[in-house]
Amino acid sequence: MASSNSGETGAGLVLRSADPLNCETPISALMGGTVTPNENFYVRNHFRVPAIDGARWRLEVGGLVRRPLRLGITDLVNLPAQVQTATLECAGNGRAFLAPPVSGEQWELGAVSTAEWTGVRLAEVLDRAGLKSGAREAVFRSADRAIGRHSRGAGRFEWSLTLDEVHQADVLLAYAMNGQPLPIQHGYPLRVIVPGWYGVAAVKWLTEIEVVGQPFRGYFQTEKYVYEWERDGRLEREPVRQMRVRSLITEPDADGEVDIGPLAIRGLAWSGVAPLARVDVSVSGGAWQPAELFGQPSTCSWQRWELLTKVSGPGRIALRSRATDGAERTQPEQPEWNRLGYGNNAIQEVSIRARRPRSSFAGR
Neighbours of 136 (CB within 10 A): 16
Identify which range of 153-161, 180-188, 208-216, 282-290 contacts a copy of itself by CB under 8 A.
180-188
CA dihedral 74, 76, 79, 85 (to 10 degrees): -120
Whichever of 79 and 226 has its CB closer to a copy of itself, that residue is 79
CA distances from 287 to 90, 290, 312, 353 (A): 31, 10, 16, 20
Query: Distance between CA 281 and CA 321 in Å, rounded?
Result: 4
Nearer to a copy of itself, 161 or 300 (CB): 300
DSSP string for residues in 34-71:
SSPPGGGS-B--SSPPPP--TTT--EEEEESBSS-EEE
59-63, strands of its sheet edge to edge: 69-71, 59-63, 206-212, 137-142, 158-162
Q: In whole angstroms, how close is the CB of 143 to a copy of itself at the nearest point? A: 12
If one asks whether residue 178 binds a copy of itself (CB under 8 A), the answer comes out as yes
Per CB under 8 A, contacts with a copy of itself among 83-142 are: 83, 116, 118, 128
Interface mask toward a copy of itself for 302-331; x: CB under 8 A: --x-x-x-----------------------
Q: How far is CA 275 from the centre of its chain?
A: 15
Of the two residues 59 and 96, which places its CB atom closer to a copy of itself in the complex?
A: 59
Residue 16-35 contact track with a copy of itself, rule CB under 8 A, x = bound: -------------xxxxxxx
Stretch that binds a copy of itself, among 96-104, 132-140, 178-186, 194-202 (CB under 8 A): 178-186
The least distance separating a copy of itself from the CB of residue 51, rounded to whole angstroms, comes to 9
Instruction: Closer to a copy of itself by CB, 55 or 287: give it.
Output: 55
DSSP string, 8-21: ------EEEEETTE
Name which of 6 and 103 has its Cβ closer to a copy of itself.
6
